[in-house]
Structure 1
Amino acid sequence: MNILIVDDDTELLDQLSHALERKQYRVETAVNGEQALDKIFESAYDLILLDIMLPRLDGLSVLKEIRQAGLNIPVLMLTARSDIEDKVKGLDYGADDYLAKPFSMAELMARIRAMLRRDGKRDPVLTAGSIELDTVSRRVTQNGELLNLTSKEFSILEFLLHNKGSVVSRFNMAEHVWGNDFDPFSMSNFVDVHIKNLRKKIRSHKDSSIIRTIRGIGFIIDDAI
């Protein structure tokens, strides 16, 4: 598996390169957007780790050019920004997932494994059991029937489905859905409340919810669903 890491933080590049190479991935790096595009259009990659804040050409512009060129390479956006607008833009431009800095190496590896399991197939419809979520029309159906979800419930379900098979922590979920508006002191139970409401709207299969709680960590939708 060939992975391209694009980041202007050379110390982080070295850390990521060594960690991925220990997992037997073949790694190449780029330190700016122009260099990244040169490498992407010259070589074949199975996955790209792409920072948003880059010199010469920012990560969102790189992503846009990749998708406009018809390249279907899975892209994981790396960002130090907490601005939800950047993350929404990334997903709209065709990013497969994003991870906010600082992140744990274990979480990064889990995201990479999940993305590579998709075999690079990009489908606007995410599924789990009888649930189908269309990321383009923003419609969610169960057994063909439309589910009436709030915007926050939709964002939570979409994030879980994008990370199907991997545990999503409460903090990452909150940071994804509420962005800068999230206050961990006054809004600590917001994620659990929205998960509870979402479960009520999704009829359970065999008396169990498709969304499982991992005690002390977060939530998961299993690949086996």
Structure 2
Amino acid sequence: MSLTTLLVEDDMDLAASLIDYLELESINCDHAFNGLHGVELALENAYDVILLDIMVPGLDGLGVCEKLRREGIDTPILMLTARDTLDDKVAGFSAGTDDYLVKPFAMKELLFRIRALAKRRSSQVKIFTVEDLEIDLHAHEVRRGGAVIHLTPTEWELIKELVSKSPEIVSRRSLERALWGDDVPESNSLNVHLHKLRQKIDGSASVQLIHTAPGVGVSLRGSDG
């Protein structure tokens, strides 16, 4: 299956070269010339990876990144820039980027980074939403239907792990490792915590969001997931 990317880049020659190369590798690429158009496309469409130049007109790459994370967009972002100082990289990661590639770069390295990022969702997203559930990962707040849900520290670690892979299934081993590392208790502790979390998140709601795949794991997804 081909990947879909969004390239936000104002250098038209570089953009054309990148798009041609990626399409030869079966990676579809939408293009935005400025930051505001990039935000618009990212909010309207689903992409596997966003390629974001830091020096674009309208709204620079840092501003684009920050806005998308505030909007709950968890698409991995690869920042492309000629700025290579530590301060520049810190600013990029603080804004919500997932990876950093300094110009000039080899096309093969870009391809490798894209394929690696496309296998996961970003951990930089600030707000995650599914159906009427909203999880603010920075403020440690959970709401469903506008009502605040109070989670224990263990339940919070569980929901974070489910969010990081949503809507994919998370294996029981991954959930156990998120809670206890390699020191997993010899009991049904995971089942107990999952049951309590499901009661708080789903309760009597008409749409269930926490789903168990027997023998496989657990997923957090909506009705269309």
Partner of 2:22: 20
Partner of 2:52: 50
Structure with bigger gyration radius? 2
Partner of 2:102: 100
* TM-score (norm: length of structure 1): 0.53
Percent of matched pairs sharing the same residue: 44
Task: Specify the code of the residue in structure 2 equivalent to 1:122.
Answer: S
Structure 2: any 5+ residue segments left out of the alignment? 125-159, 162-180, 184-225
* TM-score (norm: length of structure 2): 0.53
Task: Specify the code of the residue in structure 1 equivalent to 2:75.
Answer: I
Task: Specify the code of the residue in structure 1 equivalent to 2:123.
Answer: R
Partner of 2:123: 122
Q: Among 39, 42, 45, which residue is 1:40 paired with?
A: 42
Q: Among 13, 18, 22, which residue is 1:11 paired with?
A: 13
Task: Specify the code of the residue in structure 1 equivalent to 2:5.
Answer: I
Shift of the alpha carbon at 1:121? Answer: 5.0
Q: How many residues align?
A: 130
Shift of the alpha carbon at 1:116? Answer: 1.1
Partner of 1:69: 71
Give the secondary-structure state (helix, strand or coil) at the position aligned to 2:46. Answer: coil
Shift of the alpha carbon at 1:113? Answer: 1.2
Quote the Cα distance in structure 1 between the aligned partners of 2:112 and 2:36.
28
Which whole-Å deviations, capped at 9, do the CAs of 1:134-181 have from their partners, x for residues lacking one?
xxxxxxxx968xxxxxxxxxxxxxxxxxxxxxxxxxxxxxxxxxxxxx
Runs of 4 or more consecutive aligned structure 1 residues displaced over 2 Å after TM superposition: 121-125
Give the secondary-structure state (helix, strand or coil) at the position aligned to 1:2. Answer: strand
Task: Specify the code of the residue in structure 2 equivalent to 1:70.
Answer: G
Quote the Cα distance in structure 1 between the aligned partners of 2:92 and 2:73.
15
Partner of 2:61: 59
RMSD (CA atoms): 2.5
Shift of the alpha carbon at 1:122? Answer: 2.5
Which whole-Å deviations, capped at 9, do the CAs of 1:85-119 have from their partners, x for residues lacking one?
1211111222110100000001111111111122x
Give the secondary-structure state (helix, strand or coil) at the position aligned to 1:88. Answer: helix
CA contact (8 A) 2:43 2:73 kept: no
